[in-house]
Chain A
Amino acid sequence: MSRSTVSSNSFLDIAEDCCLLHSGGEADVYKVSVSGKDCVLKWYKSGCSFDAAVLDVVAKSRNCGHYQLREYGTRKGKSGDTPYLLYDFIEGIASDQFQKLSVLVALYSLRRLVSTLSDLRKIQVSHGDLAPSNIVFAVAESKTSKDLQPVVIDFGIVGPGALAYAAPERFQGQAPSEKSDLFSLGLLLYRWIAGTNLIAAKDFEEYAAASSSIDCSKVSEALYVSGGFSAQELSALEPLWSGLLNADPEDRLEDFDELDELLEIALDKISGGQVSLVAQLQKFVAQLEQEKLGEIVPTPEKCELPYRLLGQPKKLGLGKIFVFAFFGLILLIVALWFAVGSKGTDIDAMGAMLLKQSRSLEMDSVGATPAEDVPMDEILQDLPVPVSGN
């Protein structure tokens, strides 16, 4: 794994077989192949980014409950320098793709998820954007069995994250914390089992207001009204709502460990024993494997990489080509004008001509200079004195 701001030695330069998986408000998500291994490229949109300090820590963790980062940084794309993440492709289905989960599967998944978040908390990492689309249900295979493994993706969110799952303090600009993640987990659990969001609003202000005025005592009532839940299930879930869905962080559970205990108790209440639990989970895993084969998510079509590979010539738009051609033509004319226009004005030829002229002039005038006043021999005193040239 490496953080990259320069394109040299980047996995991106050996990426191929690009397919667009999802185009969202925050980023476009591509599936690419890097050295034969499938990876996910999250290519952020203008104005969106991530907290690199969080990713620095997550990248070092090898917990199988979260994505495995390969590379992240910024890269020049079509709209300038663009933040990106590259992580190993997760064979699974995002939890938002399921209409509803059974209470048992939901509680079990949440417990596994809490275990991962608890481990990350020990290294000072809080997720900050726990939403159904950021939890991928994968299948963990061992020699003897297959198990459901929820995998968390998209750490290091900048901003409150998905508004329908954000804790009240996150709307006030506070950094993600264990307490805010606990609140989000409560809303996530509700979405999993009810199939709808507990908080529904139009805009940021409405979401913020709804989040800060949430009443945990009315959650069971809402579930009861929606139907499909037994009294046993509603009773098992009640302590979870009252421990998680409180506007004031102080009123929430202490930490993930406490939530884990509550989840264990709830599971005991509704599972009807270990055998029944395993049977239900195996049924879900089988369904998951079937859907993973493409029944829910169609095979995406191949597309171009959102950036230019190192050494690949830059493609010019028609407008640019026209502008370059126009000014190139002008420059060519200027160059030609110099080449033709300056012909015959060679200063060296002028210098050579002047030199030749002055030296021949000197030759002609050597005898014309005044005579030297030289002492004459007595016998030759009456003779004329010769002219000396210089």
Chain B
Amino acid sequence: MKIVLGKKIQKNAKVLFKAMAVLAVACLCACVEDDVARGNKALRIGDYNRAIVNFNKALDQDPAHRDARYGLALSYYALAESEERLNVSSFDLWERASREFDILSKVDSSGQIDANYSTCLFYLARAMMQAGNSDVLSMLDKSIRLDSLNFFSYNLKALLLAGLGRSDDAKNIFVYIVTKEPKFSSAYLNLGNIYWGEGDIESAWDIWSMGHEALPKDAALEHWTKVAEDSLKAKVLSEGL
């Protein structure tokens, strides 16, 4: 009887052991998900450093955890953006965010993260340019490849090309931007600026006034449309003398 009972206990112990193993795996998953949830909560309320700590904890247990990696990238992204608002150098944070997005792109190829990754690259390129490094053309091209509707990257690329003396390429890009996104005021300003720089006040006025029409509340466009208008008047008057 004792032997039979012993065998039964042994059998049940095996089943119990298997169930415990399943539970252990479930608990491990639960821990990771818990860290991710905590990180996300911290990110939502702007506690970026705590968010980074929690997402890193989750990644220590599962480095390929998509949500944890995305959360970490977004935490650096949001932290860098908040630094930008305070005009503090955010180059390192953008670089870190970009690195996390790069790793994430190997885990998630669904395209769901591409818009954020694209914007991150735009910010990184701009931070690099502000730091005096203008070798960011390939980075901007990658940003545009990731999100063809990221007109900020188009805009920055066109500015970069204009600075390199490739005015025609830059003009084409600005025209493309205002065609696709007529509310993108910066493109009007920058395109008009190129014409202004070339002494083509009429074309500059054309572009700025077009922008002012599209965005009547934009003070800068209103101002420069008025300036160009006055310049044209002055020019006509001076030619008449």
Name A residues whose Cβ lies closer than 8 Å to a Cβ of B.
79, 317, 319-320, 323-324, 327, 330-331, 334, 337-338, 341-342, 345-348, 350-351, 354-355, 358-359, 361-363, 366-367, 372, 374-377, 379-380, 383-390
Contacts and interface: CB of A to CB of B under 8 A. Distances in A.
B8 A367 contact: no
Contacts of A354: 74, 77-78, 81, 116
A350 B75 CA distance: 10
Contacts of A374: 193, 196-197
A355 B119 contact: yes
Given A347-B74, A354-B77, A358-B119, A331 B193 contact: no
A312 to B, nearest CB: 19
B73 to A, nearest CB: 9
Contact of B159 (A323, A350, A390): A390
Nearest to B225: A386
Contacts of B183: 363
Contacts of A338: 30, 33
Contacts of A362: 152
A323 B12 contact: yes
Interface residues of B, number: 62
Given A347-B67, A366-B186, A379 B238 contact: yes
Contacts of A383: 227, 230-231
A348 B126 CA distance: 25
B199 interface: yes
Nearest to A372: B193
Interface string B24-43: 00100010010011001101
A124 B19 CA distance: 51
Contacts of A366: 155, 184-186, 189
A348 B116 CA distance: 10
A377 B112 CA distance: 48
A359 B119 contact: yes
A40 B43 CA distance: 73
B201 interface: yes
A323 B15 contact: yes
Contacts of B197: 372, 374-376
A390 B230 CA distance: 26
B23 A331 contact: yes
B16 A323 contact: yes
